[in-house]
Structure 1
Amino acid sequence: MLTHTPENQRLVDLLQRVSLQDHAAFKQLYDLTSAHLYGVAMRFVRQRELADEILQDAFINVWQQAGSYAATLSTPMTWLITIVRNKSLDRLRKGKLESDNTSSFEDNSPDQYQEEVMEHADPHDLFAAATEKIEVTRCLSQLDAPQRQSLALAYYNGLSHSELAEQLQVPLGTAKAWIRRGLDRLKKCLEQASLAPQGK
């Protein structure tokens, strides 16, 4: 499992409150994370105005999708950085500002990206995240294709339910059902993995 720190737990608690439309929690979350997330956006777009817009779009997404955050999959900062990263790449594509460096970002393996987003983590955090990633990948492979695709788009690409429905060309209710059932099955699989005897 991912390392539990007071900082992580505070962000987890704030995201849970944001999912209930708690404006005070949203402001606290913004105050605690926006500076770092702005820096992430700047690394991609290199323009302050664009980085400001990306940060705003990302936090709109967070407000709408906080309920989809699953603490068993990643730390809150990794989830937030993933949203900013994908918003940045979307903006680069739309603005035709791609460069060779941008292409290399998009082509990075999950391990390379994990190293990027956790560059300031301590070794225990990195080991825990790597171990968790193995279990998540295994459990994702056991899901039905629609559930797996829906979770990937919603969680890693930061799509809202309505954006997901549009992307997959299915009714909104169907998209929500795929996400809900996929998360339920993923949670059960990860819980079983955490209870399994070690070293087998």
Structure 2
Amino acid sequence: MNGTETHHLMQPRDRASAFDHADAIRRCARGDKGALRQLYEQEAGAMLGVAMRILRRRELAEEAVQDCFVQVWRRAASFDATRGAGRAWLFTILRNRALNILRDGSREETTGADLLADEPDDRPSPESIVVLLDETSRLRRCLEQLEPLRRNGLVLAYTRGLSHGEVASELKVPLGTAKSWIRRAFLQVRECMQ
């Protein structure tokens, strides 16, 4: 492979890692609409993918992404880079918006569990979700310190919005074990983040 091909293959990842999310969020807080547009262009595609995995319906996923960017614009001044990476802040807002939509029973249509059970599970593994976090992120460092099964339980509960029972089923452990793992992992991460 020659140097040009290597450069071409590396470019998207380099561009994503070089983008300064925190700076763009701070500029949004100062009313810079161009910064919001840059955030959107940089992350909307990945955010749509995450929202689709949570909501399973494109129109709801698009709504979650749009709601997220409205919240980013309104709440940019509350962003604190000492508490985590800008990209992680964006995806936390997205996850919360998607889960709120998911919980809103008035939007549910007939997508019974039997229909979802037949769909292939193309969602990322808990390990790949952790890897998506910025390498310098305090959250990532704290999650990586956890025992793998406990970390997986916590990540499944918080990124996919799974109940304790669903986490237990996914990890093939008793319900009490899943509850204990999630609680202990949460406490460990909270302590590590402080």
Q: Which TM-score applies when normalising by structure 1? A: 0.49
Counterpart residue identity of residue 119, structure 1: V
Equivalent in 125, 130, 133 of residue 118 of structure 1? 130
Shift in alpha-carbon separation, 1:133–1:63, aligned structure 2, 3 A: farther
Post-superposition Cα deviations, 1:161-191, rounded to whole Å, max 9, x if no partner, equal: xxxxxxxxxxxxxxxxxxxxxxxxxxxxx9x
Counterpart residue identity of residue 67, structure 2: D
Alignment correspondent of 1:138: none
Measure, in 2, the Cα distance between the counterparts of 1:46 and 1:14: 29
Structure number, greater radius of gyration = 2
Post-superposition Cα deviations, 1:124-156, rounded to whole Å, max 9, x if no partner, equal: 54777334999xxxxxxxxxxxxxxxxxxxxxx
Shift in alpha-carbon separation, 1:8–1:48, aligned structure 2, 3 A: same
How much has 1:48 moved relative to structure 2?
A: 0.6
Equivalent in 114, 120, 141 of residue 130 of structure 1? 141
Equivalent pairs, count: 119
Shift in alpha-carbon separation, 1:119–1:24, aligned structure 2, 3 A: same
% identity of equivalent residues: 33
Post-superposition Cα deviations, 1:39-96, rounded to whole Å, max 9, x if no partner, equal: 1100101111111111111100000001111111111111111111111111111136
- Alpha-carbon contact 1:73-1:132 (below 8 Å) kept: no
Alignment correspondent of 2:57: 47
More relative contact order in 1 or in 2 (CA 8 Å, sep 6+)? 1
Unaligned runs of 5+ in 2: 1-15, 114-124, 146-192
Partner SS state of residue 82, structure 2: coil
Measure, in 2, the Cα distance between the counterparts of 1:70 and 1:63: 15
Measure, in 2, the Cα distance between the counterparts of 1:82 and 1:43: 14
Equivalent in 31, 43, 59 of residue 21 of structure 1? 31
Map 1:47-86 → 2, pairs under 5 A: 47-86=57-96
Shift in alpha-carbon separation, 1:75–1:133, aligned structure 2, 3 A: farther
- Alpha-carbon contact 2:55-2:61 (below 8 Å) kept: yes
Shift in alpha-carbon separation, 1:15–1:30, aligned structure 2, 3 A: same
Partner SS state of residue 119, structure 1: helix
Partner SS state of residue 80, structure 2: coil
- Alpha-carbon contact 2:22-2:87 (below 8 Å) kept: no
RMSD (Å) for aligned C-alpha atoms: 3.5
Measure, in 2, the Cα distance between the counterparts of 1:63 and 1:20: 10
Alignment correspondent of 1:38: 48
